[in-house]
């Protein structure tokens, strides 16, 4: 077999998600939601089983609305519901950032070493995520051994135009190495970000992760032969 026909150029960049990738953040998010509810005088409490169901909904504000519609449909806030939900979410974000600032959320094992090695080898680094910018920057500032904000060339956090541009750049890189499934996923991500379709974006991110893994396995196969 002529493996030269499948030669893959050197890796040039790494694109990271945040929640569940850099750190296992979800339970910290859940605790912050509950703290925000308590601060607002609500008796709502999201346990782990309920939160696992709510995670099927993309976005914190959307998650709150889904919970109200499905679990407390008779609830009526004083004033506009959208404004109430936005206020709850701001408080949740404030609590979450405070928890990160206290060092309560470690990175997943090996993440910092991987990123440091990538930087040392000249790889370009970027983050694309649907979580809020405050959450991302606080994680980079407090969960790494040093402030890692400057390590990433692009941070697209809950920012559809930036995510669109990141997907476009990554699509070009994957196309250049012949990674057809990954390129297709990134093209779809670029289109979804252009339309600010966060539900579609959320469904695409696991597909992109899987395509990256398939490409990595293919490269390892070539190395072993």
What local confidence, expressed as pLDDT, does residue 223 receive?
A: 57
pLDDT digits (tens, 9 = 90+) for 29-83: 999 999 999 999 999 999 999 999 998 887 788 899 999 999 999 999 989 999 9
Across 3-14, b (16+ Cβ under 10 Å) vs e yields eeeeeeeeeebb
What local confidence, expressed as pLDDT, does residue 224 receive?
A: 60
Task: Give whichever of 8-17, 41-50, 153-162, 208-217 has the largest mean pLDDT.
Answer: 41-50
Q: What is the DSSP string of 179-197?
A: -HHHHHHHHHHHHHHHTT-
Q: What is the mean pLDDT of the chain?
A: 82
pLDDT digits (tens, 9 = 90+) for 145-196: 999 999 998 887 765 555 666 666 666 655 555 566 677 777 787 777 766 6
Domain ranges of the chain: 12-23+110-224, 26-101
Catalytic residue selected from 17, 134, 197, 209: 17
Give pTM, 2 decimals: 0.63
The CA–CA distances, whole Å, from 65 to 72, 75, 85, 90, 197 equal: 10, 11, 7, 14, 18
Q: Which CATH superfamily is domain 26-101 in?
A: Putative phosphatase; domain 2 (1.10.150.240)
Q: Quick check: is 24 catalytic?
A: no
What local confidence, expressed as pLDDT, does residue 155 receive?
A: 83
pLDDT band at 1 (very low <50, low <70, confident <90, very high): very low
pLDDT digits (tens, 9 = 90+) for 82-131: 999 999 999 999 999 999 999 889 999 999 999 999 999 999 898 877 78
Q: Under CATH, to which class is 12-23+110-224 assigned?
A: alpha beta
Please tell me the distance from the alpha carbon of residue 217 to that of residue 66, in angstroms, as a whole number: 38
What local confidence, expressed as pLDDT, does residue 173 receive?
A: 57
Percent of the chain beyond pLDDT 90?
A: 46
What local confidence, expressed as pLDDT, does residue 217 receive?
A: 65
Residue 170 in tokens = 């990554």
Task: Give, for 199, the enclosing helix (H) or strand (E).
Answer: helix 198-224
Percent of the chain beyond pLDDT 70?
A: 73
Name the 3-class secondary structure at 102. coil
């Amino acid at each position: 077999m002529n493996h030269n026909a499948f030669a893959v150029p050197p890796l040039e960049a790494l694109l990271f998600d945040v929640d569940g990738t850099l750190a296992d953040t979800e339970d910290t998010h859940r605790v912050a939601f509950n703290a925000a509810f308590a601060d607002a005088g609500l008796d709502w409490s999201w346990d782990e089983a309920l939160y696992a169901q709510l995670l099927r909904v993309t976005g914190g504000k959307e998650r709150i609305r889904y919970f109200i519609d499905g679990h407390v449909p008779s609830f009526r806030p004083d004033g506009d519901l959208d404004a109430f939900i936005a206020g709850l979410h701001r408080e949740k974000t404030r609590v979450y950032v405070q928890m990160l600032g206290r060092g309560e959320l470690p990175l997943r094992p090996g993440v910092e070493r991987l990123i440091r090695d990538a930087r040392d080898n000249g790889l370009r680094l970027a983050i694309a995520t649907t979580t809020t910018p405050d959450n991302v920057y606080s994680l980079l500032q407090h969960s790494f051994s040093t402030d890692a904000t400057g390590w990433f060339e692009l941070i697209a956090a809950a920012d559809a135009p930036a995510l669109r541009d990141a997907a476009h750049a990554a699509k070009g890189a994957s196309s250049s190495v012949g990674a057809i499934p990954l390129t297709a996923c990134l093209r779809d991500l670029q289109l979804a970000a252009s339309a600010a379709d966060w539900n579609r974006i959320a469904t695409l991110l696991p597909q992109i992760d899987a395509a990256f893994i398939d490409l990595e396995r293919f490269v390892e196969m070539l190395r072993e032969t």
